[in-house]
Chain A
């Protein structure tokens, strides 16, 4: 665990796909409880950055330190534990298991932790209550609305109480009303001390962030006003 307020520190991050350099020396620092919104045109490398921060992919150069843990120093087996304990990831398509209920999808993230079966259920229900989904606990994803699915995915990302939440287009597939609800939840989470790095084209969501950053030519430009897709 890091002692200071900085939960995420990225230095000189480079990621190439063949001849294309998508990220070219990204530097980023995020504090606990800070809500950072990343914007940029399609293909700018926003999702790639989220994947790197969530240890779903490996950078070609640079360092990533999350919660005092440098990702490059981990063996592959340690990365599973890192993903389980230190970050929560919310995908645009939610990636819920369709045949499991909402509560089971959340419980899924808590296997391999020290929580007992009843503790897993209790924690999942607590999250569903927090996201106003208690009455949808036993519904399967196809029986939920887009906004509800998004909130279940958010709850799953928070199941193990990670200090950092990564959200890739969390409101991308939602209508305005549902997007507003999800945005409010993200803001509340940040106010409760969870650091959030969100990638979104949603201006209203970006307006809720503490900082708006834009990825341009593989680097981050700071101090931007909330932007939508150009």
Chain B
């Protein structure tokens, strides 16, 4: 029998306790995985919004979140005249309820002429007319979701609209939107003369940083954003998302550690005489610590596997929540899996450390006297 074999044997011999411990770890891993995927996906969504139409950078209102930004169209026109700017597209972004399964569909208001710079490729049908009050285009992912195609009509906000085209944008966020003539969406939302974001493409000979600086110095109420770090300086959204992720992870860790501590401590009391025997036949304290931690680690890894499966299920549930549809596209990055595994290992070790030390430091004679 090897030492590892003994650890395995001990875990198998106490199946129920091992399963309870693994469950505690699994719940923690599930939370960490789901939060991690959610966070990275929201980050990715933010990046996608900023890079729509292969823009070199995006203009937002300083201090505002992308969907809450307000930019005067006349300012955008002025920015388009800044040296080095090749094209500048303004888009109005609003959200509206389609049905209970899609309670927050993103509506994009865009001039037909701006569709190409915005990265819109029409897959079926045609573009809406520039000022049509009742024509709409659907991103193909949204069209599939709500079972609509070219020629259908849809009811939204008390209005009947005709679907005239289906499109894709090359980014998952954009493919779940619906698109209207800019003037129509501005007038329906009573924001005539305003857009939400501006997407800038610079001249081939110009550098992005130089053009960004020119705009930033001339239009101080707006922020040019070319990267996530720029975004972080302008808006605290990602900071809040990260903070929620960290807070959730800490909470999950506390719950999982409590679970591991509880069951491992119970195990210590059940096996106290066994630890006395091991000490009396010459086992040193560090070996007993390694034995108990090894058992916890093995159970932790099993919990991690269960947790990953539960996490995958939880992400799928989140993905299909109406309120997150279109915003949440899971990004299955290896980093999140490693993080979950480290979490499981850390939780198992921290939770089992106190019982392990108690097992190692109990007097062998005192332990042998226990019934």
Contacts and interface: CB of A to CB of B under 8 A. Distances in A.
A107 B277 CA distance: 13
Nearest to A117: B2
Nearest to A76: B285
B114 interface: no
Contact of A77 (B1, B3, B274, B284): B284
A56 B282 CA distance: 10
A218 B368 CA distance: 23
Nearest to A57: B365
Nearest first, the 8 closest Cβ-Cβ pairs linking A and B are: A84-B282, A80-B284, A83-B282, A109-B281, A99-B13, A95-B277, A56-B365, A104-B1
Contact of B282 (A97, A107, A109, A121): A109
Interface in B244-290: 273-274, 276-285, 287
A111 B283 contact: yes
B282 A112 contact: yes
B66 interface: no
Interface of B: 1-3, 6, 9-10, 13, 273-274, 276-285, 287, 363-365, 368
Nearest to A77: B284
Given A91-B280, A95-B368, A111-B283, 17 more contacts: A77-B285, A80-B279, A80-B285, A81-B284, A83-B280, A84-B281, A89-B281, A91-B368, A95-B276, A95-B277, A95-B280, A99-B9, A104-B6, A104-B9, A109-B281, A111-B6, A117-B2
Interface string A149-164: 0000000110010000
Nearest to B279: A80
Contacts of A56: 280, 364-365, 368
A51 interface: yes
B190 to A, nearest CB: 75
Interface in A68-126: 77, 80-85, 89, 91, 95-97, 99-100, 104, 107-109, 111-112, 117, 120-121
A138 to B, nearest CB: 12
A96 B281 CA distance: 11
A75 to B, nearest CB: 11
A117 B1 contact: yes
B281 A156 contact: yes
A51 B366 CA distance: 11
Contacts of A107: 1
A117 B3 CA distance: 9
B13 A80 contact: no
B368 A112 contact: no
Nearest to B273: A95
Mostly helix, strand, loop or mixed at chain B's interface?
helix
A81 B282 contact: yes
A45 interface: no
Contacts of B278: 108
A82 B279 CA distance: 11
A54 interface: yes
A97 B277 contact: yes
Contacts of B279: 80, 83
Contacts of B276: 95
25 contacts: A56-B280, A56-B365, A56-B368, A80-B279, A80-B283, A80-B284, A82-B282, A83-B279, A83-B281, A84-B281, A84-B282, A89-B281, A91-B368, A95-B273, A95-B280, A95-B368, A96-B277, A104-B1, A104-B6, A111-B3, A111-B283, A111-B287, A112-B284, A117-B2, A121-B1
Nearest to A51: B365
A125 to B, nearest CB: 12
Nearest to B288: A80
A85 B281 CA distance: 9
Contacts of A81: 282, 284
Which of B282, B283, B363 has its CB near the most chain A CB atoms (within 10 A)? Answer: B282
A111 B368 CA distance: 20
Contacts of A121: 1
Nearest to B276: A95
A56 B283 CA distance: 12
Contacts of A91: 280, 368
B273 to A, nearest CB: 7
A100 B9 contact: yes
Which of A108, A121, A156 has its CB near the most chain B CB atoms (within 10 A)? Answer: A108
